[in-house]
Chains A and B, each alone.
Chain A
Amino acid sequence: MTSRGASAKPSLSLRKMQRVYVDTCPRCGLCVPSCPAYELTSDYRLAPSYKVKLVKAIEAPSIMGRLLGLRRAVDVEALATATYSCALCGRCEEACPFGIDTVSLWLGLRESLHSAGLNPEPLKGLEEQLLKSGNPYGAPPSMRIYWPELFGLDEALRRAAGRRADTALFMGCTPALRSAAQEILAAAVTILERVREGWTTLGDQEWCCGYPLLLLGNREEAERCLSRNVELLLSLGAKRLVTVCPSCYKMFKIVYEELKGAPPPLQVMHVTQLLAEYLIKLRLEVPRKLSVRVAYHDPCDLARASRIVEEPRLVIREVAQELVELPRSGLRTSCCGGGGLLQASNNSLRLKIARRRLEEALSVKADVLASACPACKSTFIEAAREGGLEVEVLDVAELVARAVGLSR
């Protein structure tokens, strides 16, 4: 692929449906105001329909332009920047009146750019780390089981790791390796122990679920990670898999089926679904509700992609005094900025998006901004620290652990 070359025609090798999407997009512009990257930068080059325009210029230069001799140089670099400055939140897909599956289109673009070696340098480094160490942070596998020591849960994890059980907890890279998110995992494990759930985990044998590799555009490696994890989980006799990260959930629940053409061989649950089940079946009792006003931020991967919006709310209503809705919530939720590997490709944009969401939480006078995603939590905490905003950010699992007296 060549940048800025009208004579050398770059190839994006779009797939059938992606070509249909690019051709049938009438550039109505309804996706533009919904895009957080555009909303916060006013840079039209990041807008979804501008990306479609660039793709179309590369894929099929307009007949009229050719007739009038108006062929312009195709700016592939601009396309790469726009493609990787996208949080893949899917808000544009929700806004598109023509039902264009924009997220699959952006993912297809990432695959094309990746195979042409046009992905940004920081992401190349990230991919190298992922392939070498099995996680995006380049941590050795033993670090994945270091976090329990910080919370006095090492004995529980030692008992659970590698044993045969019906319920498996998929820790995920961010919850296991990032300090801001480790408390989520600790809360989940404490609750599992409290309800005496027979659970297991892959421990240091666990690899990345493959989602970051998919976002990098490396579908083959993503599929390899996913298949390996599923095989190991099945070998432990797991019948249901619980994830604390919505992206891991999406990978096992949705992407597995897309890649393999068959539903996953085990039931996949997000931790909020499990918590809702425990509360409904009274396996977990809440002695007293927390006297806090909680604003719930729907993570994109959980709400829009996986359509899990009721369970987290049910859980929060059970454990907290008051639940308030943020201006954009549910399926039309606003992005936290932490998706699409923005941290590696455009961190300032990531923090800007998160800051806006934090301000929305402050505007509804929330004591706590709750989410159900480790990436959202890490991003919010970082943005609050940078912007000097006073909001407590917690995961739904942490709220439950507090309410049932398992943590402070």
Chain B
Amino acid sequence: MEGSAISSLYVATFSYLPYLTVAVTALGFLHRFARWSLAPSSTTLRLRISPPSSSSAFKSLLNLVLDLLLFRSVYRESPRLWAVSWIMHLCAAFIMFSGVHHKAHLYLLGLMDEAPSLMHEPFRLPIPSLQGFFKLYIPPLIPDAIERPTAILRGAVFVCAPLILLIRRLRDPALRATSSLSVYYLLLLMISGSLMGTAITLDALTPYLPIQGRMLLASMHGIIAQLFIMSIPFTCEIHMLPGGELTRIAYELRGWARR
């Protein structure tokens, strides 16, 4: 690929594609919510007694938050799967909300003046005075001082975890049969995206790629990441919206209302 083509790809990936990503994702969620809300609303029978309501709303909320943060129910069923999936999600959070990603998110939201090396055209926040406020209150999950030295480790874990999940899925006949194409697509996106991300981080520590190579790698990484985001509303990645947890809240509320 020629240098100018790589530069164009780079600009398109980080300056224009994000708008498409946001639009597709938003429309996808709208489609999903419409599908849900247009379903018949007659009573869904629940054939089990609601768990004894917690003594307080605070306790219920706390349990809910702990379940969501620690994946306690996964641990109960399979500690091995818990180890892989919890560490993977933890790594994902640390990767996505620290270092260059954190800066890129703030920049794309119009909350930063200085562009990270990847970015080009800034999005301007309609009310500039809010910029400083948001910058102050959206700190990275990991301070910059330890973000860089641990980046390779996090990247490696984030490559290995989806790989383990993929192998688990391929080895178990029942899991293989219940998996759809989109599940494999998502796992492959995660593995390839994180491999590229780790290579970029390595290059930042000890440069070994020419500038064009680095731009190409970053563009591919950006495309894969945005493809993943666009896929959320259309695939089982929608599990990010915890349907079960929302139901739990609904049943708790119904229980209180009936008392």
Contact = CB atoms under 8 A, between A and B. Distances in A.
Contacts of B239: 24-26, 98
B206 interface: no
B1 interface: no
A219 B238 CA distance: 31
Contact of A13 (B40, B43, B45): B40
Interface centre among A20, A250, A307 (most CB of B within 10 A): A20
B174 A32 contact: yes
Instruction: Give the secondary structure class of B's interface.
Output: helix
Contact of B258 (A62, A98, A250, A263): A263
A73 interface: no
Given A20-B243, A98-B244, A258 B178 contact: no
Interface centre among B42, B51, B178, B239 (most CB of A within 10 A): B178
Given A98-B244, A99-B243, A305-B49, A27 B236 contact: yes
Contact of B47 (A20, A24, A250): A250
A30 interface: yes
B244 A24 contact: yes
A13 B44 CA distance: 12
B127 interface: no
A60 interface: yes
Interface centre among B73, B180, B244 (most CB of A within 10 A): B244
Contacts of A282: none
A153 to B, nearest CB: 32
Given A50-B178, A255-B47, A24 B183 contact: no
A30 B81 contact: yes
Interface centre among B48, B51, B235, B245 (most CB of A within 10 A): B48
A29 B178 contact: yes
B64 to A, nearest CB: 10
A393 interface: no
Interface string A337-354: 000000000000000000
Interface in B110-161: none
B172 A29 contact: yes
Contacts of B48: 90, 93, 103, 254, 304-307
A53 interface: yes
Contact of A21 (B78, B180, B183, B243): B243
A99 B45 contact: no
Interface string B31-51: 010011101111111111101
Nearest to A29: B175
B71 A97 contact: yes
A17 B46 CA distance: 11
B159 to A, nearest CB: 20
Interface in B45-73: 45-49, 51-52, 71, 73
A258 B46 CA distance: 7
B211 interface: no
Contacts of B238: 23-24
Interface in A72-108: 88, 90, 93, 95-101, 103-104, 107-108
A53 B32 contact: no
B27 to A, nearest CB: 12
A100 B242 CA distance: 9
B19 interface: no
B173 interface: yes
A15 B42 contact: yes
A48 B60 CA distance: 28
Interface centre among A15, A21, A45, A103 (most CB of B within 10 A): A15
Given A20-B36, A24-B239, A219-B45, A101 B244 contact: yes
B249 to A, nearest CB: 10
Q: Which size bracket describes the interface of B in this complex?
A: 35 or more
Contact of B40 (A16, A21, A93, A263): A16
Interface stretch (A63-71, A134-142, A367-375, A377-385): A63-71
A129 interface: no
B6 interface: no
A314 interface: no
Given A27-B178, A30-B74, A258-B43, A96 B172 contact: no
Contact of A23 (B36, B44, B245): B36
A332 B113 CA distance: 55
Contacts of A98: 239, 242-245
A16 B39 contact: yes
A3 interface: no
B39 A14 contact: yes
B45 A253 contact: no
A173 to B, nearest CB: 19
A17 B39 CA distance: 9
Given A27-B178, A98-B244, A304-B48, A44 B173 contact: yes
Contacts of B179: 27
A2 interface: no
Contacts of A100: 243-244
Contact of A32 (B46, B178, B185): B178
Nearest to B64: A99
A24 B238 CA distance: 6
Contacts of A62: 180-182, 235
Contact of B181 (A21, A23, A70, A95): A70
Interface in B215-259: 234-239, 241-248, 258
30 contacts: A14-B39, A15-B39, A15-B41, A15-B42, A16-B36, A16-B39, A16-B40, A17-B44, A17-B243, A18-B39, A18-B44, A23-B35, A24-B236, A24-B244, A30-B78, A44-B177, A65-B180, A97-B74, A99-B243, A99-B244, A99-B245, A103-B47, A104-B44, A104-B45, A104-B47, A108-B44, A254-B46, A258-B46, A259-B43, A307-B49
What 4 pairs across the A-B complex have the smallest Cβ distances?
Answer: A99-B244, A24-B243, A97-B73, A26-B239
